[in-house]
Amino acid sequence: MDDYRVLNRASWDERVPAHAASPDYMLERFVEDPDFLSGVVRFDVPRLGDISGLRGVHLQCHIGTDTVSLARLGARMSGLDFSTPAIEQAQGFADRLGLEVDFHQAEVYDAVEVLGAASYDLVFTGIGAIGWLPSIERWANTVAGLLKPGGRLFIREGHPMLWSLEGSKHPGLITLGYPYFETEEPMVWDEGGTYVATDVEFQHNVTHEWNHGLAEIMNALMAAGMEIIAFDEHDSVPWEALPGHMTFDPESGEWRLTEHPGRLPASYTLQARRR
């Protein structure tokens, strides 16, 4: 179990330069257009509401594109990630944009110790984050520990139903290939490549991941002293999660099942408030 941190960090560390250079992260668009936002944040602007002046932290922030987007919406943002190269890239990027965002290298479960208890009005976490964590209960306690009373969690994530599907082993078929619920043992992957366009060949390809069911996520948050205040499910995600089975929608910037997209909850947005 302890090895998951070492393996996953090596994978993410190696991919930082490729992600920063990839057109999919659109770093130059941020530089050229002071109003430009990441697709993940832009998708949820109506749900976020006015965040001007809020003290926010983005957990598992990677290279910081969502973090700086929230700062552009007026929040006073911090970012936290376990990858040192990611944090260095994110800090340099925010500085280049002239934004006062502070980034910190640490494990998610250490966030309260590193950033301070009850210090934030907003905790944000985005697509593809919590699946790298073995315990959703520990994550929920971390979120609650970071928030001031009345503070809000905002999470957009891939749906656990989506994470349980497999679309490549049988041509033309999507099958239930992986656990829906949290398991003690991780799903172990050994795959090259990454989720953005790049020609880079990677050496660190073994990762450990976990799924977390919706009830597990919500119950963990409520047990940690949070109340669910909003929950939406979506038929789209911002990457081709099931290659060969999805079609890109240029208007939303998201991918949906090509056939019968209404049959799959592909992602969700959940909001909870600390009591």
**What's the Cα-to-Cα distance from 221 to each of 61, 152, 218, rounded to whole Å?**
20, 11, 5
pTM for the model stands at 0.96
Q: Residue 93, Cβ neighbours under 10 Å: how many?
A: 22
Tokens standing for 262?
């209404």
> Has residue 1 got a pLDDT over 60?
no
Reported as a single tens digit per residue, the pLDDT across 64-94 is 999 999 999 999 999 999 999 999 999 999 9
The pLDDT score that the predictor gives to residue 169 is 77
Average pLDDT over residues 157-164: 98
Tell me the pLDDT of the chain averaged across its residues.
96
Q: How far apart are CA 163 and CA 154, in angstroms?
A: 20
| pLDDT tens by residue, 173-225 | 999 999 999 999 999 999 888 988 898 999 999 999 999 999 999 999 999 99
- Tens of pLDDT along 12-50? 999 999 999 999 999 999 999 999 999 999 999 999 999
Q: Strand 55-59 and strand 76-81: pairing?
A: parallel
Give per-residue pLDDT as tens, 240-259. Answer: 999 999 999 999 999 999 99
Report the SS3 class of residue 257: strand
Task: Please write the tens of the pLDDT for every residue from 131-151.
Answer: 999 999 999 999 999 999 999
Strand 76-81, strand 102-105: pairing: parallel
Strands (E), the chain: 55-59, 76-81, 102-105, 120-125, 147-158, 165-166, 175-176, 187-190, 206-209, 226-234, 246-249, 254-257, 267-274
| Distance in angstroms (rounded) separating the CA atoms of residues 275 and 271 | 13
Tokens of 174: 């999507």
